[in-house]
Structure 1
Amino acid sequence: MWAQEVEEILPKAIRALFTIMPKGKKDEIQEIRIRLHQPLEVRFSQSGLYVSGPRFTTDYRDAYICTREDCMQMLQAISNHSIYAIEEQLRQGYVTVAGGHRVGMTGKVIAETNKIRTIQNVTSFNIRIARQVKGIATHLLPMLYDSIRKRPYHTLIVSPPQCGKTTLLRDVIREMSLGNEHYHIPGHKVAVVDERSEIAGSINGVPQCDLGPRTDVLDACPKVEGMMLLIRSMSPQIIAVDEIGTSADALAIDEVIHAGVQLITTVHAHSIEELLGRPTINDMLQKKIFERYVVLGRTPTVGTIIGVYDKNRLKLTQRGAGVG
């Protein structure tokens, strides 16, 4: 669904184009790309088009060309007219705005001792539109919850980029926090380490997305440090993080599991077989740390659930509904 918060941060001239655009066209947009002196581009799940007035076009020569004034207005809007206020976020290369939408930026990097201090002269913006789709995890709950031991399974969501893994993770968190009477699943204390502010979309520490009534969020915190902090301070039953892959992640996950906490996380890959070629993830697979794998794909549509697998990587389901 199109988000009014996105329209409000757009530069005046670009906002006018989207204001007169039919809502049905806007609802499927995933990204808006603003680049100085380049055509205004929008990205959908599997393609990109240029914006020409209230319509889309494949011909960049017909598209609206982004101006320096557009870039200046965009920066002022996302910083609330105070660049100093977003200096820390500029170091990360993105700013999270109201509604949980994320604006990535590039420009001239100012670095000190090989670390980014800030980004100046911002000339490119990537507005990633956050979409919370409630209920997409509901039909998976019986496969993600151990009804004998009365706890969720350690779960890994496997997905190619931009196939809905974070959207699905977000709804699994919400469902486990809320509980589901139909499936006899009680509500759980869930703690989230939201390293890139993508899961909860927090603004000033306040989640913009609904993660359930029993969920605590550590925003903009490195995964490893965050998982250790949550174990010590929040007595969670479930810890959720996005995009694991490093050896440090693996060590932290080991601590989580040995603390008796359930883990729900994600990884970028096209299949479980692809993970076997990554030493750190392969080691976790061989140890059978994860009891459930949910694999997403692009066929027949982006976000299709290819299957749910057990700890032995045996399929529990056939290809089914998606997360889009």
Structure 2
Amino acid sequence: MILQLPPDIFTAIEEIRVRHGRPLILGLNHKDAFLHRQGGLADRPSQAYVVSDDDLRRTTQLISNSSIYALEEELKNGYITLAGGHRVGITGKVVTEKGGVKTMKYISGINIRVSRQVLGAADGVIKHLLSPKGMVYHTMLISPPRCGKTTLLRDIVRQLSNGIPSLGFGGINVGVVDERSEIAGCYQGVPQLDVGIRTDVLDACPKAAGMMMLLRSMSPGLIATDEIGRSEDVAAVEEVLNAGIKVLTTAHGSSIEELKRRPALSRLLSLGLIERYVILGRSRGVGTVEQVIDGISRRTLEGLRGVKRC
């Protein structure tokens, strides 16, 4: 039924929410929509296709290659990542052991987050992430959920890795710690998305450990990772900064002030080492660059509000 939707709707799908006994809901890039039980979109929940037990069972088999037990490590985090970087969130009965999450069973809800690579997503901001001498600025992308920060991060990595002839930038070695397999979309360790010719990826690796591994072994000019927030992540970022390696990372939030209220990130921000903050939103659709802020002066760079969509 989803494949039969008109192309303009199909390409706008960001999420597919499959909940037992409830309407199937599509998260589009501008609104949520119900899938009509006869095909197409429905105006009301009463017209929508209702998810059956068989739908959930078959979907679970497909995303796990009929071996949900082989994915126990991923289920501890509440999601499975598919080849291509698509992330599947899962809810149901949680099984605990020794105070921690062991696995999940009796799955009752699935949220498929569709990953799409947008080559050129960073075109509008990349020049502001390079100094006049061609050095990369330490950069943090700040964004609420579903505003395109991973898409933008991926394209920044690609461009810095390949080089940017128009800016006289020759390219650098980039190390990516892809804890949730969303940045590079690795399958059996090999990136399925274009992250550049000089990029090395640690797939499904915890961020803090991965940053140290890359620092010690791969001689990166820049280390990139997604969604820092824990104290150990911030400590690893500090190590990378102190080693003279450039950092590119993201954080959940809508402003610098909001991040300051989170103890771990507050410490990182207080060091004054982040040189560029890119604030994303949805004022002109997913991936709108709302502001680029100089991390030292906290001045908003001119002409950038709402200029680029990822």
Q: Tell me the TM-score normalized by structure 1.
A: 0.90
Q: Are positions 1:182 and 2:166 aligned together?
A: yes
Which segment drifts farther, 276-285 or 139-148? 276-285
* Corresponding residue of 2:66: 81
Q: For residues 97-246 of structure 1, what are the structure 2 equivalents within 5 Å?
A: 97-148=82-133, 150-246=134-230
Contact 2:284 2:309 in 1 (8 A): no
Shift in Å at residue 84 of structure 1?
3.0
Moved over 4 A (4+): none
SS of residue paired to 2:124: helix
Contact 1:51 1:64 in 2 (8 A): yes
Contact 1:96 1:203 in 2 (8 A): no
Aligned CA distance change for structure 1 residues 314 and 50 (closer, same or farther; 3 Å) = same
Distance 2:232 2:72 in 1: 27
Give the counterpart of 2:75 among 87, 90, 104. Answer: 90
Distance 1:213 1:84 in 2: 35
Contact 1:41 1:51 in 2 (8 A): yes
Shift in Å at residue 192 of structure 1?
0.7
Aligned CA distance change for structure 1 residues 134 and 37 (closer, same or farther; 3 Å) = same
* Corresponding residue of 2:287: 303
Shift in Å at residue 25 of structure 1?
1.3
Q: For residues 213-292 of structure 1, what are the structure 2 equivalents within 5 Å?
A: 213-292=197-276
> Once the two structures are superposed, what CA deviation does each residue of 1:176-218 show, in whole Å capped at 9, x if it has no partner?
1111111111111100111111211222212221101111111
Contact 1:297 1:306 in 2 (8 A): yes
Contact 2:238 2:268 in 1 (8 A): no
Contact 1:237 1:261 in 2 (8 A): yes
Q: Are positions 1:315 and 2:300 aligned together?
A: yes
Shift in Å at residue 156 of structure 1?
0.7
Look up the equivalent residue of 1:306 and give its one-letter code. E
Contact 2:124 2:308 in 1 (8 A): no
Q: Tell me the TM-score normalized by structure 2.
A: 0.94
> Once the two structures are superposed, what CA deviation does each residue of 1:64-83 show, in whole Å capped at 9, x if it has no partner?
11111111111111111222
Number of aligned residue pairs: give it: 307
Aligned CA distance change for structure 1 residues 320 and 300 (closer, same or farther; 3 Å) = closer
Distance 2:258 2:55 in 1: 42
Distance 1:67 1:210 in 2: 37
Look up the equivalent residue of 1:153 and give its one-letter code. Y
Q: Which runs of 5+ in 2 are unaligned?
A: none
Identity in percent:
46
Q: Which runs of 5+ in 1 are unaligned?
A: 1-16
Aligned CA distance change for structure 1 residues 237 and 76 (closer, same or farther; 3 Å) = same
* Corresponding residue of 1:9: none
Q: RMSD across aligned C-alpha pairs, in angstroms?
A: 1.5
Contact 2:34 2:41 in 1 (8 A): yes
